[in-house]
C-alpha cells in the first residue's frame, strides 16, 4: 500500500511539474514573444523613419524602393491602434520580429508605389511574436486600410472578407482577386493571417481597394481616416 501511495504521490508531482512547464510555455508563447517582437519592430520602424527624415532625394528610400528595414507602415484603426511596419517577404523568421510582410512567393505582391494594377498582399501573425493581425476579425466592410510610405498615403477601403479558407488557397493573392468578387484589374490590398486564433489550420482574408492617394506634407498630417 505504501508503494502505491508513493507512486501516486510521484505521479502527482510529475503532473504538477508538467502543468507548470506548460504554463510557462504558454506565457512565453503568448506574452514574452510579443514583448521581444514589439521591441524588434519598434527598432526597425525607427530606422525606417530616420531614413525618411534624412533622405536628400525624395525619389529614393523606403517610400519608393524596398529597403532592408521596411518599405512603410500599415494603419488599420478597426484592428490596431498602432502602426505596423511592412517588410519584404513572409518567412516565419521575418514575421517573428513583429512586422507584416508582403508576399514574394507563391504569388508576388504588387507594391502600391509601382503605380501598376495588382494586389498588395500582406501577411502577419495573429498570435505570439507581436500578433499584429490578432484582431483582424474586428475589421468590417467599409473600414479604411491606410499604407504609409515616405511620400504618400495610400487609402484603401475594405470591400470583402473571407473568414476561413485553406492555407493552400493562393488564389486570394492573385493580381485580380476573383474570390473577393472583383473581375477587373485594379489597385487592391489583401491582408492574410492564420485562423482560428492560436492555430494555423486555415487563413483569414481581408480585401480592400484603393480609393485615393494623398501626398505626405511636411508635418505628415494624417488622412482623415486616421484622425
- Evaluate whether residue 21 is within a structural domain: no
Q: Provide, rounded to the nearest whole percent, the portion of the chain with pLDDT above 90.
A: 71
Predicted local distance difference test score (pLDDT) of residue 62: 45
Based on the structure, what is the number of domains in the chain? 1
The whole-model pTM stands at 0.85
Q: Dihedral (C-alpha) 36, 41, 47, 52: value to the nearest 10 degrees?
A: -160
CATH number at residue 167: 2.40.260.10
- Per-residue pLDDT tens over the stretch 39-72: 999 999 999 999 888 875 444 544 455 566 799 9
- Per-residue pLDDT tens over the stretch 83-129: 999 999 999 999 999 999 999 999 999 999 999 999 999 999 999 88
- Evaluate whether residue 8 is within a structural domain: no
Which residue out of 125, 129, 134, 187 is catalytically annotated? Answer: 125
Is residue 9 over pLDDT 90?
no
Is residue 7 over pLDDT 80?
no
The phi, psi pair for 195, rounded to 5°, reads: -155, 150
- Evaluate whether residue 16 is within a structural domain: no
- Evaluate whether residue 38 is within a structural domain: yes
Is residue 173 over pLDDT 60?
yes
Is residue 143 over pLDDT 90?
yes
- Evaluate whether residue 158 is within a structural domain: yes
Structural domain span for residue 143: 33-226
Is 125 known to be catalytic?
yes
- Evaluate whether residue 7 is within a structural domain: no
Which residue out of 75, 134, 187, 194 is catalytically annotated? Answer: 194
**Alpha carbon 225 to its chain's center:** 19
Predicted local distance difference test score (pLDDT) of residue 147: 98
- Evaluate whether residue 42 is within a structural domain: yes
Is residue 28 over pLDDT 70?
no
- Evaluate whether residue 179 is within a structural domain: yes
Judging by DSSP bridges, how do beta strands 118-123 and 187-195 pair with one another? parallel
Amino acid at each position: 500500500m505504501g508503494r502505491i501511495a508513493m507512486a501516486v504521490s510521484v505521479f502527482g508531482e510529475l503532473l504538477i511539474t508538467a502543468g507548470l512547464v506548460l504554463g510557462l510555455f504558454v506565457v512565453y508563447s503568448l506574452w514574452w514573444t510579443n514583448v521581444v517582437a514589439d521591441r524588434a519592430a519598434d527598432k526597425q520602424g525607427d530606422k525606417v523613419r530616420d531614413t525618411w527624415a534624412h533622405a536628400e532625394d525624395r525619389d529614393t528610400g523606403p517610400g519608393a524602393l524596398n529597403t532592408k528595414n521596411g518599405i512603410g507602415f500599415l494603419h488599420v484603426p478597426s484592428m490596431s491602434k498602432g502602426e505596423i511596419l511592412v517588410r519584404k517577404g513572409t518567412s516565419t523568421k521575418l514575421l517573428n520580429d513583429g512586422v507584416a510582410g508582403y508576399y514574394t512567393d507563391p504569388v508576388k505582391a504588387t507594391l502600391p508605389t509601382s503605380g501598376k494594377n495588382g494586389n498588395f498582399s500582406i501577411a502577419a501573425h495573429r498570435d505570439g511574436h507581436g500578433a499584429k493581425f490578432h484582431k483582424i476579425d474586428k475589421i468590417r466592410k467599409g473600414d479604411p486600410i491606410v499604407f504609409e510610405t515616405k511620400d504618400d498615403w495610400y487609402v484603401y477601403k475594405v470591400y470583402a472578407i473571407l473568414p476561413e479558407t485553406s492555407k493552400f488557397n493562393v488564389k486570394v493573392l492573385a493580381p485580380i482577386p476573383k474570390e473577393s468578387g472583383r473581375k477587373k484589374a485594379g489597385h487592391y490590398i489583401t491582408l492574410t493571417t492564420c485562423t482560428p486564433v492560436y492555430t494555423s489550420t486555415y487563413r483569414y482574408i481581408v480585401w480592400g481597394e484603393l480609393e485615393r492617394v494623398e501626398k505626405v506634407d511636411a508635418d505628415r498630417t494624417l488622412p482623415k481616416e486616421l484622425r
